[in-house]
A and B are shown apart, each in its own frame.
Chain A
Amino acid sequence: MKVIEISNLNKIYNETIIPVHAVNNLSLEINEGEFTAIVGPSGCGKTTLLNMVGGLDKPSSGSIQIQGEDITAYSASRLTQLRLWNIGFVFQAYNLIPVLTAFENVEFIMQLQNKSKSERYERTMELLEAVGLKDKKDVRPSRLSGGQQQRVAVARALASKPKFILADEPTANLDSTSTETLLNIMEELNLKENITFIFSTHDKRVMDKARRIIRLEDGRIIEDQGIIH
């Protein structure tokens, strides 16, 4: 089942001055349950592509369909709702809310969804257990290691029960042990719960785990290995 369908996508920065073609006529399909890495050198358009798929940025032309609906014409508030209910984000810099504990960070997104207290508690504990941080639930991000913070970020991304997770360079700031742990957790969630993961990375360790690798260069796909139909 297609989760994302991208057709003839373009993103041009500085269109009127010195145009920069960050994404160039790109077409792509992502199916449910994929564990996909988008790779390429810096500036090849990985983050721009993820931002547009996540509704954080508007394409210059082309379409992005999420579960059959074109999101390029969505208003800002509709995109916010789309992100809240359908997309999980994992960022390179973890981006946890520093004043909240690990538990509260995971729970927060469900509060935005107005889920009941008991449901929030159950899901948060379940996710913290899944990422191996149940015992750190009352600890604030500043007291967690980088790897632990990123695991909390993964738990937060999953809390809203999204259709897919967009992870922008999730291992860039992690040491090898933390990277290994994080990747194993995400792989397990992908395999057991069929959650779709899309990474942007140039980390070899992520590429090794990914079952599909899309290679970008100058905003175009130059290689797509392991596509699942």
Chain B
Amino acid sequence: MILKIAWKNIWRNKLRSSVVLFAVTIGLVAGIFAVGVMRGALLQRVDSAIHNEVSSMLLHNSAYLSNNESIYTLSNADTILSFLQQQDEVVGACKRLKVEAMINSGRGPRGIILNGIIPEEERLVTRIAGSLVDSSSSYFDKDMRYTPILLSSVLAEKLKVKINSKVQVDAISKSGNSAQDVFKVIGLYKTENSLFDEMNAFIPYQNMAELLEFQMSEAHEIAVLTKNIMEVDSLTYFIQKQFGEQALSSELSGEHLSIQTWKESAPDLEITTLYIDLMLYIFVGIILLALGFGIINTMLMVILERTHEIGMLLSIGMTRLKIYMMVMLETILLSLTGGLAGIIISHFIISYYSNAGINLDFAKEGFNAIGYSSFIYPTIDWLSYVQVTFMVIITGILSALYPAWRAIRLNPSEALRTE
């Protein structure tokens, strides 16, 4: 009965309750949608970084990471690669040669990272192939007069080159000699990270090994993509166990296999994933805090208006606890009704935009400069809706504490004298 009275009491002053419900609904729609957009953008950023930049994990010669010199390679790259490709949780693994180089198109030189890749392996790990915006041939055409090179559209624009243009690349070979070659631009790729795009160019692994005097079994980097990016620790352990003790190079000592999970290669991404959950609490929490004060004000008005009635309820034998519960329930129901309406509306809006996407191309350069896509697909998981529902209930409870306390502090005879 108390629940029934509490529910019916909400509708005694339809206008006032509607204003509160409207405020809660709009507040939550705004909050959830904003969180959905940010969550979508952040997840897209993480997804993009994993699939284009750092993969689930990267394997290097530890000396390569500390000295950044091309002589430090993984001499047993093929053995490691073969092991990785047999693991169930591995979607794909690829080896890369990776050196700093200068690229010149006649418009002045630019520093780049030249990546020697095997397209068949690379396709399983990265989305570079799928990011080709313009291409004169397939990924790397083998029957070409010039060695093919894949540039980003950003770099191509800076170099003022197009498809089929020639560029010269200079680099230091493993033996320390200067090596150079002319490459033909066969494709332009584009990821959501313009910094990555500006720095990375791709050529066939074999051509790079020949040009820079590396053995065909060597690699500077092995990139691994796993089925679940959050569960990479066990694989790390197995790789370490298998190859951690093996010598990486016969000539050099003090080197070991370095395994960097995506959290280590890109700590900002880990913070981002943690922030995704925290963001919901911060955003919706601030909105609910503001709404909470509105609800307190409304409920205090309600108590003031119903002083006489509360006096009557106390007179006929309703306990203070039950009156407290009644005010509590009324506040919670009021908040929850608005909250659920907000959640349902948010769900429909986010569902629509998660398919249609939100085009923020007007700020594309800004977004891309920090590695984010300007086309955002908002997303919220069901757990977030549950969390928001609990937050609304907690707001209702907290907002009811003071008004309910005021209600039970009333003296029945004095309350009955109130008009």
Complex-state Cα separation, A212 to B335, whole angstroms: 53
A-B contact count (CB 8 A): 65
B-contacting 9-mer, from A38-46, A97-105, A124-132, A177-185: A97-105
Known: A97-B309, A99-B8. Is A91-B416 also a contact (CB below 8 A)? Answer: yes
Contact of B347 with A by CB under 8 A: no
Given contacts A56-B416, A160-B317, contact A95 B312 (CB under 8 A): yes
The answer to whether B413 and A76 have CB atoms under 8 Å apart is no
Instruction: Kindly state the separation between the CA atoms of A111 and B317 in the bound complex, as whole angstroms.
Output: 11
Do the beta carbons of A84 and B316 come within 8 Å of each other? yes
B320–A77 contact, CB under 8 A?
yes
- Interface contact A91-B12, CB-CB below 8 Å: no
CB distance from B322 to the nearest CB of A (A): 7
A83 with B317: in contact, given A56-B412, A56-B413, A57-B413 (CB under 8 Å)? yes
Interface residue SS majority, chain B: helix
Question: Which applies to chain A's interface (DSSP): helix, strand, loop or mixed?
Answer: helix
Number of interface residues of B (CB under 8 A): 23
A121 lies within 8 A of chain B by Cβ: no
Question: Is A112's beta carbon under 8 Å from chain B?
Answer: yes
Q: Please tell me if the beta carbons of B1 and A108 are within 8 angstroms of each other in the complex.
A: yes
A99-B312 Cα distance, complex, nearest whole Å: 14
Contact with A along B318-330 (1 / 0, CB 8 A): 1110100000000
Nearest-CB residue, chain A, relative to B6 = A99
Interface string of B295-323 (1 = CB under 8 A from A): 00000000000001100111111111010
**A149 CB, min distance to chain B CBs, angstroms:** 13
For chain A, the count of residues having a C-beta within 8 Å of the partner chain is 29
Q: Which of B5, B411, B413 contacts A97 (CB 8 A)?
A: B5
Does B9 count as interface, using CB distance less than 8 angstroms?
A: yes
Residues of B within 8 Å of A51, CB to CB, are 413, 416
8 Å CB contact of B1 from A77, A98, A111: A111
Q: Do A80 and B8 form a contact, CB below 8 Å, given A95-B312, A108-B1, A111-B1?
A: no
B contact residues around A85 at 8 Å (CB): 317
Chain A 152-194 residues near chain B, CB threshold 8 A: 156-157, 160
CB neighbours (8 Å) of B5 from chain A are: 97, 99-100
Alpha-carbon separation in the docked complex, A148 to B320 (Å):
29
B12 interface neighbour in A57, A77, A99, A157, Cβ under 8 Å: A99
Best-buried of B11, B314, B322, B416 by chain A (most CB within 10 Å):
B416
Distance in angstroms between the alpha carbons of A77 and B312 in the assembled complex = 15
| Given A98-B12, A108-B1: A76 touches B320 (CB 8 Å cut-off) | yes
Residues on the A chain within 8 Å of B12, using CB: 98-99
The proximity string for B residues 209-252 relative to A, scoring 1 for CB distances below 8 Å and 0 otherwise, is: 00000000000000000000000000000000000000000000
A86 to B318 CA separation, bound complex (whole angstroms): 13
Q: Chain A residues with Cβ under 8 A from B4's Cβ?
A: 100
CB distance from A112 to the nearest CB of B (A): 6
B17 to chain A, nearest CB (A): 13
A80:B319 contact, CB within 8 angstroms: yes
Shortest B250–chain A CB gap in Å is 88
Closest to A86 in B: B317
Segment 1-53 of B: residues with Cβ below 8 Å from A: 1, 4-5, 8-9, 11-12
| A95 lies within 8 A of B309 (CB) | yes
List of B residues within 8 angstroms of A93 by Cβ: 308
Q: Which positions 84-104 of chain B face chain A at CB distance < 8 Å? A: none
Q: Which of A56, A97, A108 contacts B315 (CB 8 A)?
A: A56
Residues of B within 8 A of A107 (CB): 1
Residues of B within 8 A of A99 (CB): 5, 8-9, 11-12
In whole angstroms, what is the CA distance A46 to B314 when docked? 20
Closest beta carbon of chain A to B303's beta carbon, Å: 16
Contact B1 A80, beta carbon cutoff 8 Å = no
The 5 A-B residue pairs with the shortest CB-CB distance in the complex, in nearest-first order: A84-B317, A99-B8, A95-B312, A56-B413, A57-B413
Q: 14 other contacts beyond A91-B416, A109-B317, with CB at 8 A cut-off?
A: A51-B413, A76-B320, A77-B320, A80-B314, A80-B320, A84-B316, A89-B312, A95-B308, A95-B312, A98-B12, A98-B309, A99-B9, A100-B8, A160-B317
Can you identify 15 A-B contacts, CB atoms within 8 angstroms?
A: A51-B413, A56-B412, A56-B416, A57-B411, A57-B413, A76-B320, A84-B318, A89-B316, A91-B312, A91-B416, A99-B8, A108-B1, A109-B317, A111-B1, A160-B317
Chain A interface (Cβ < 8 Å from any Cβ of B): 51, 54, 56-57, 76-77, 80-81, 83-85, 89, 91, 93, 95, 97-100, 104, 107-109, 111-113, 156-157, 160
